[in-house]
Each structure stands twice: as structure tokens, then as C-alpha cells.
């Protein structure tokens, strides 16, 4: 149940069209659905403003289909599954022919992409092209959450002039998501150029001493630039949710 649906039910209760027992029954039905192998949280949108997002890794295509079907029946917003392999996507799309799948980000979604309604742009910047899968997970998730996204890719600090060529986009952003592997210096460089929040995403891109993203993670956590926050390695989805909340403060105040 969405916030809007709850408000509509309460208004009908005020008009005498629904009883208190009807409202209680709705709330009891809302929390979760027991599928045996999973318990989708159908009250999450009411609490957080975002329906449960399905993490596709480790689930079969048929399991993802069943979870998505339950979520889609209870929301008017896009339904999202992340980390879905192309093989699983082929099977899922048979059940949802209108679903969209992007092989780079590994995101599968059902429903129309909403019109952007955030206070500004979310800029997604990458150190290199190898960071694109994580960056696209962030960018496409942000778009599905109702944000206008500007992509600034391959602007790593090994060629600082590439980053400086995009200062105008960066400084006009509401939030910047900085995605980088190797030593992860991109987040600090951007943090020193902008006044908006910077959400840093370390990626597992790099040679042996990068320790599959640990070096970038520690570099970003130790950033000397103020206003830089850090999510886990390769967590483009988490960065997008955080950035979207920053870009929708009015939604948080109404919830």
C-alpha cells in the first residue's frame, strides 16, 4: 500500500464509506507475503517511499517472477530487480513482456519510467569506462526513482583535464554520485569542486593491490573533501537510493 492509497482509504473512512475494521484489515494484509522461499515486504513503500527492490543474484528466474508479480500488484511505481543475469532476464521477460532489461547495469524493471520530480539533477561520474556497470546501476535506479540523471563518464584523475571539462555540470548538480575503482581519488577531486553532497561508490576495478575495491573504499572513507559519503564496493543501487532521497526532501517531509 502506498502513502497515497492509505490517504485515500482514510478519506473514505472520514466520509463513512469504509469502517475502522476495513482499515485494520488493509493494514494487516500489508506487511508481507509468505511465498515459502521468500517474504516480500509489501509495507516498505508505505514506510520508506520505495517498494522492495529484488536482488536477483542467488535467485532463480521463477523465484524472481513470483516476487515481482506480488510487488507489481501492489504499487503503481516501477518495480525493480537488480543483478539479473541476461539468461534469467530472458525467462523473466516471458512472464512480463513489457519489462525492460539492460545488460550493462543488469537491471530489469516493470512499469513506466516516471517523470523527474527531484529538486535538481543527479550527476553520475565515473573514473573510467570499466566503472560503467556500477555507474549504470546507479544511474538507471535513480531514473526509475524519479530523478533527472546526467552522465559524466571516463573523467578519472589520471587525466584531470577531462574532469575539469565538466565542472559546470558538476557544480549545478543537486547530488553527485562518484564511481571509481583503482585508488578511488575521483570522489575527493569532485568533493573539492562542488557544494552539493557527493555519494562515493568504490568499484572492484583495479589491479592486484586494489584488493577488489578495498583500496578505493578506504581512500574514499578517508577523503579530505567535506561532504563525501561512501557506500559499499560496487553498490550503485545503494548510492542511487541515497542520492534520490537527498534530491527529494519534500517527499521525506510528507511521509
Residue bearing the bigger pLDDT, 194 or 45 = 194
What is the three-class DSSP state of 28? Answer: helix
CA 2, CA 217: separation in Å to the nearest integer? 36
Domain regions of the chain by residue span: 48-112, 121-251
DSSP string, 133-197: HHHHHHHHHHHHTT-EEEEE-S--GGGHHHHHTTHHHHHT-SEEEEEE-TT-THHHHHHTT-SS-
Give which of 176, 205, 173, 172 is closest to 189, Cα–Cα: 176
pLDDT value at 77 more than 70: yes
Give the pLDDT confidence score for residue 189 in this predicted structure: 95
Residue 119 CB: number of other CB atoms within 10 A?
12
pTM: 0.84
The architecture (CATH level 2) of 121-251 comes to 3-Layer(aba) Sandwich (3.40)
Which is nearest to 183 in space by CA: 159, 160, 214?
Answer: 214
Mean local confidence (pLDDT), 64-74: 87
Task: Return the pLDDT at 1.
Answer: 55
Q: Is the pLDDT of residue 76 over 90?
A: no
More confident residue, 210 or 36: 210
Band of pLDDT at residue 32, cut at 50, 70 and 90: low
Instruction: Report the half-sphere exposure of 183 (CA within 13 A, side-chain side).
Output: 7
Give, in degrees to the nearest 5, the angle at Cα 232 between 83 and 101.
20
Amino acid at each position: 500500500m502506498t502513502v497515497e492509497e492509505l490517504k485515500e482509504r482514510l478519506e473514505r473512512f472520514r466520509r463513512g464509506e469504509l469502517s475502522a475494521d476495513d482499515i485494520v484489515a488493509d493494514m494487516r494484509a500489508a506487511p508481507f507475503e509468505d511465498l515459502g522461499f521468500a517474504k516480500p515486504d509489501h509495507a516498505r513503500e508505505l514506510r520508506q517511499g520505495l517498494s522492495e527492490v529484488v536482488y536477483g543474484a542467488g535467485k532463480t528466474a521463477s523465484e524472481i517472477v513470483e516476487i515481482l508479480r506480488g510487488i507489481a500488484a501492489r504499487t503503481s511505481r516501477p518495480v525493480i530487480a537488480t543483478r539479473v543475469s541476461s539468461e534469467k532476464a530472458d525467462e523473466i521477460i516471458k512472464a512480463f513482456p513489457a519489462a525492460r532489461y539492460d545488460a550493462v547495469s543488469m537491471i530489469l524493471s516493470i512499469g513506466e519510467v516516471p517523470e523527474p520530480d527531484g529538486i535538481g539533477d543527479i550527476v553520475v561520474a565515473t573514473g573510467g569506462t570499466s566503472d560503467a556497470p556500477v555507474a549504470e546501476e546507479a544511474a538507471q535506479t535513480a531514473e526509475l526513482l524519479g530523478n533527472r540523471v546526467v552522465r559524466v563518464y571516463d573523467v578519472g584523475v589520471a587525466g584531470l583535464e577531462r574532469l575539469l571539462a565538466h565542472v559546470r555540470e558538476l557544480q549545478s548538480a543537486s547530488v553527485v554520485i562518484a564511481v571509481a575503482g583503482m585508488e578511488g581519488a575521483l570522489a575527493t577531486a569532485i568533493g573539492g569542486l562542488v557544494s552539493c553532497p557527493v555519494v562515493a561508490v568504490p568499484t572492484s576495478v583495479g589491479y592486484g593491490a586494489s584488493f577488489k575495491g578495498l583500496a578505493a573504499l578506504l581512500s574514499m572513507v578517508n577523503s579530505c573533501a567535506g561532504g563525501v559519503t561512501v557506500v559499499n564496493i560496487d553498490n550503485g543501487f545503494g548510492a542511487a537510493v541515497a542520492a534520490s532521497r537527498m534530491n527529494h526532501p519534500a517527499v521525506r517531509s510528507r511521509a
